[in-house]
Amino acid sequence: MKFQVISKSGVKGNDVLIVFVFEGEKRIASGKWQELETQLAKVLDRHSKEGFSGKEQDYVKTHLDSQLFSGELVIVGLGKRDDFGIERQRRAVANAVSKLKGIKYKSAIVLLPDANEPIMLSGLAQAAVEGIVLASYRFNKYKTNGNNHKNIYLESVGIVALTPAEEGKIRTGVSKGELYSRATCFARDLVNEPASVMTPRKLAEVAKSISKRGISIKIFDEGQIKKMGMGGLLGVSIGSAEPPRFVHLTYKSPGAKKTVAIIGKAITFDSGGLCIKTGEGMLTMKDDMSGAAAVLGMFSVLAELKPKVNVHGIFAAAENMPGGRAYKTGDILKAMNGKTMEIINTDAEGRLTLADALSYASKLEPDEIIDMATLTGACVVALGPDIAGIFSKSDRLTNKVVEASKFSGEPIWQMPLPDDYFEMIKSEVADVKNAGQRWGGAITAALFLREFVDSKIPWAHIDIAGPCFVAEEKPYQPYKLAGGTGVMVRTMLRYLEMQN
């Protein structure tokens, strides 16, 4: 799909025009184009009498034949003006595009709402591009009929700049929107692949392909992993016929004064091991590498985005499978930093591989460490399927990540990290055990991870178990389709750009 910034004169001749209306206002939200506003006044008046009010998710699809535009007109509600923001724009344009499913329109024009400031205008343009691309995403690779009735056929989209002063800001937003959404779709593709395809070795191969884009890489095989003392990764992987891989990507920005390490959980399939899951519980466990997919999605565009910060991307890839050699409850594993871990539950495996990844990252001495992991069902119980939880003792780091998530429309909620709860995972025979009691499981999992981070380095753990995968599409999230969501790609990109 090709995006361009156009002037008013470029509107005519396209298939679809998308405009927006605030709730309770009988005029389009782009007040700077008086001629179009006048021409659409009668259309809006007619449809408001038929029930269109401009509420979020409201829409009208009708034909318009005028001097300014002749074609399909899509009018989308933005909700109340006081509640409007970047995420509302992203959802609204995604809502508009979703109404074009199965219809072979080739070109569309988007007329953005008025922005109060130039920065907001750039953000609205970025959100519009993201909403269109993410709502148009389809994983049809294995469908013989291509899923035609659900496809979006748009080939070109123009974002209108009403004045020359707007053009530069809109162009910047469009460029970033293309990068952010492409990176997210890259991550979605990785998550949506069957686990028999996206194995630890395949994940490492994908990382290697990214390294050709201005990114350096180190890939460690099973023998090297053993030499480095990564007992957590080795223990989890030993029951599988698929060997583990440890991957370290590096992006360096000339003159950067800060270095961030971002880690993703990379269990390419989680059967639960000997503490095996039910069939239903295993159904979506190809998504247990969503953290690593987010790291790879992010790294796929860093060389183009050029944030002014050095970035390490790290993941420890393994399958968690039952087998004659599989690790067992009661086993004691030693992580890379020398700490020992008693196995209480083989289905609490992600934290064991992350223990080695966090230990490795700490040795690099970055200024900050962030890990993203589909770690606990307890976090989903606490926050539901749409919100990630963040655990950290650094309010400064937490606040910056949360700020980035608000811009990106990927909500994160700060969770408590009380030291007292560490008592729940103290072991009689090792330094720590990999599971505690039922209650507070998301907290104790985060406290477990903290044991493998250098205490001098600010660290945040993001539990993405809920928002990493959509089982059932929701009307209030029109750009999050069934399957992998690519969650945290855009938040991390925004976070890195905030370091500029």
Catalytic residues: 277, 351
Residues 6+ apart with CB under 8 A from 55: 23, 77, 79
C-beta of residue 76 within 8 angstroms of C-beta of residue 18? yes
Please count the other Cβ atoms lying within 10 Å of the Cβ belonging to residue 395.
10
Residues 6+ apart with CB under 8 A from 456: none
Residue type for position 344 = I
85 phi, psi to nearest 5 deg: -165, -170
Look up residue 364 and give its two tokens. Answer: 């690099």
Look up residue 242 and give its two tokens. Answer: 């698929």
Q: Residue 42, exposed/middle/buried by CB under 10 A (0-12, 13-18, 19+)?
A: exposed
Residues in the chain: 500
**322: nearest Cα among 352, 299, 347:** 347
180 phi, psi to nearest 5 deg: -60, -45
- CA 256 to chain CA mean position, Å: 25
C-beta of residue 186 within 8 angstroms of C-beta of residue 179? no
| Rounded-to-integer distance, Cα 491 and Cα 400, Å | 10
